[in-house]
Amino acid sequence: MDTKNAYAPYGYHLPDQGVLGFNGEQLDPVTEHYHLGNGYRAFIPSLMRFNSPDSLSPFDQGGLNAYAYCQGDPVNYQDPSGHSLWKRLMGVAKPPKRVEVLAAVANKGVFTKLVGWHGTSRKNIPSLAKGLSPVYSEPHRQAQGQGFYVAPTPEHAKTYANAYDDGVVLPVLVRKDLNLVPGVGYKKDVFDVVAILPAAFEVVSVRETVPSGVTPAELPRTGIFAKKPAPAK
């Protein structure tokens, strides 16, 4: 084949550039969509998303990025079938080390919405800094079930930190470009205690200090506590 085509990261190209898509699949001449997984899902270059949520995704019930392609980063991730969301599926070509460092700084900068405060042991800081995991989610020990619990104020969180000899209160942040889905990404009771649910663990960050430019996440209460005033203090 002599024709050469250029494609943007999400597969967009001008109409006169040919019919072979960025993933090697045939472009649908009617819808102008690309089909992955032998027609399992269709990708829309103009919208940079799929036309349906992924049934094999952990977000199938209505959570975050159900329609996204490679977590919104097709340059560094690969996903031929449209199924995988795991970060370990890296692209063949690794970016230069300098680019990786700049990307890491940029990723830290997007966490600018303050959810609340978490009281814990100082020795847990290194593991919390790497991200939330099911280790911090015990369904039978908390009022709102499984989740990572966040207090509304540092004083409230301090009551939990005081259970440790080396107790510390840490700020909990969520990405500024995302809104947590009530009941899917989090739960919030009448005391404004937030339980971050496992579906949202990847978009929440626990820090040692509060970064500059932080604003309140202002998550509404959920379930039977929705729209109810807080109890009088």
The pair of three-digit structure tokens given for residue 186, joined into one six-digit string: 């989090």
Write down the pTM of the prediction: 0.52
Strand partners, 173: 114, 205
Match 């996903």 to its residue by tokens.
Answer: 79
Per the CB < 8 A criterion, the answer to whether 180 and 219 are in contact is yes
- What pLDDT, on the 0 to 100 scale, is given for residue 149? 92
- What pLDDT, on the 0 to 100 scale, is given for residue 12? 54
- What pLDDT, on the 0 to 100 scale, is given for residue 11? 55
- What pLDDT, on the 0 to 100 scale, is given for residue 193? 92
- What pLDDT, on the 0 to 100 scale, is given for residue 207? 92
Cα separations in angstroms, 129 against 10, 117, 133, 148, 210: 31, 14, 11, 14, 13
pLDDT in tens, 87-128: 443 444 444 444 333 333 334 447 889 999 999 999 999 999
- What pLDDT, on the 0 to 100 scale, is given for residue 76? 54
Strand partners, 148: 196
The b-or-e profile of 10-45 (16+ CB within 10 A means b, else e) is: bbebeeeeeebbbbebebeeeeebbbbeeeebbbbb
Low-confidence ranges of the chain (pLDDT < 70): 1-26, 36-40, 53-109, 135-144, 227-233
